[in-house]
């Protein structure tokens, strides 16, 4: 069986030299809105290695969401160089970026962003649909993933029929669908009550223990403290990085 993710598993195991999954150099991001120019990122250098769990913290407006968008290839930097798993991302067109997002990035959003008209199963299948996985394999993998996040009995439910914590677990399953290089989570517990939040947190922790690379943007210090590495951003610059040697 030619699973699109199985080849990457191999690559992960055999990768002897330490190529960082994320390598950013001199990243600047400038937004222009009418006459107002906002410099959200003012020169970011950041390396994230395979299997790392990084929490990005900072006050609102500090540029952490901009950084996450750039890492997730939802946006392109105004200036600077970004390599994802050794490949430069700059210069790709929209479809090229879409392909990277599909195969290399798994997103978990604060407000889940599940498609309301689709069942949990179909939501998890979505990235695989875009990735060209066959219907049978999509279904099988989606079922496995939902079972993995503990929603084996909620597969046919629509998002509206699920609790917040369940929705976020569906979103985590969806993020895992294409076995991405990095899982990016933007305030994943922001819309959840404490107990669902800690469920999701332990799920993410579990993924990390199983070898996933996680970059999580959060206000939540209890979450940030779980991460072995904390990157703190202020005014578009990294002011503190516990992972830097």
How many CB atoms neighbour CB 118 within 10 A?
14
Binding to another protein by residue 109, rule CB under 8 A?
A: yes
Task: Give 70 or 231: the residue with its C-beta nearer to another protein.
Answer: 70
Task: Give 75 or 241: the residue with its C-beta nearer to another protein.
Answer: 75
Binding to another protein by residue 107, rule CB under 8 A?
A: yes
Stretch that binds another protein, among 5-13, 70-78, 144-152, 220-228 (CB under 8 A): 70-78
Binding to another protein by residue 19, rule CB under 8 A?
A: no
Binding to another protein by residue 95, rule CB under 8 A?
A: yes
Task: Give 118 or 155: the residue with its C-beta nearer to another protein.
Answer: 118
Stretch that binds another protein, among 17-25, 103-111, 140-148, 194-202 (CB under 8 A): 103-111
Q: Contacting another protein (CB under 8 A), which of 92, 126, 155, 237? A: 126
Residue 229 burial (10 A CB sphere; 0-12, 13-18, 19+): middle
Task: Give 74 or 229: the residue with its C-beta nearer to another protein.
Answer: 74
Least CB distance from residue 178 to another protein, whole Å? 7
Binding to another protein by residue 222, rule CB under 8 A?
A: no
Binding to another protein by residue 198, rule CB under 8 A?
A: no
Report the C-alpha gap between 38 and 16 in whole angstroms. 41
Place of tokens 């798993």: 85
Least CB distance from residue 62 to another protein, whole Å? 15
Binding to another protein by residue 117, rule CB under 8 A?
A: yes
Least CB distance from residue 92 to another protein, whole Å? 12
Binding to another protein by residue 178, rule CB under 8 A?
A: yes
Report the C-alpha gap between 42 and 29 in whole angstroms. 7
Place of tokens 């960082």: 20
Task: Give 129 or 239: the residue with its C-beta nearer to another protein.
Answer: 129
Interaction site with another protein (CB under 8 A): 65, 69, 72, 74-75, 94-95, 98-103, 107, 109, 111, 113, 115-118, 126-127, 129-132, 134-135, 174, 178
């Amino acid at each position: 069986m030619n699973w699109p993710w199985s080849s990457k598993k191999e690559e992960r195991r055999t990768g002897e030299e330490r190529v960082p999954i994320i390598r950013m150099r001199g990243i600047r991001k400038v937004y222009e809105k009418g006459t107002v120019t906002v410099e959200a990122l003012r020169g970011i250098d950041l390396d994230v290695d395979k299997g790392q769990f990084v929490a990005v913290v900072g006050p609102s407006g500090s540029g952490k969401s901009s950084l996450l968008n750039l890492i997730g290839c939802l946006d392109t930097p105004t200036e600077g160089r970004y390599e994802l798993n050794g490949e430069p991302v700059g210069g790709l067109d929209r479809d090229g970026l879409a392909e990277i997002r599909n195969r290399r990035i798994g997103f978990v959003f604060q407000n889940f962003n599940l498609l309301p008209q689709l069942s949990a199963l179909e939501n998890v299948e979505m990235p695989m649909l875009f990735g060209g996985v066959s219907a049978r394999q999509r279904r099988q993998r989606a079922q496995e993933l939902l079972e993995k996040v503990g929603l084996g009995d909620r597969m046919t439910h629509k998002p509206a029929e699920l609790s917040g914590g369940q929705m976020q677990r569906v979103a985590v399953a969806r993020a895992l669908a294409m076995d991405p290089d990095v899982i990016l989570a933007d305030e994943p517990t922001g819309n959840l009550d404490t107990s669902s939040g800690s469920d999701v947190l332990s799920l993410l922790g579990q993924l990390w223990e199983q070898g996933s690379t996680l970059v999580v943007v959060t206000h939540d210090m209890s979450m940030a403290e779980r991460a072995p590495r904390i990157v703190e951003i202020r005014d578009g610059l990294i002011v503190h990085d516990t992972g830097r040697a």
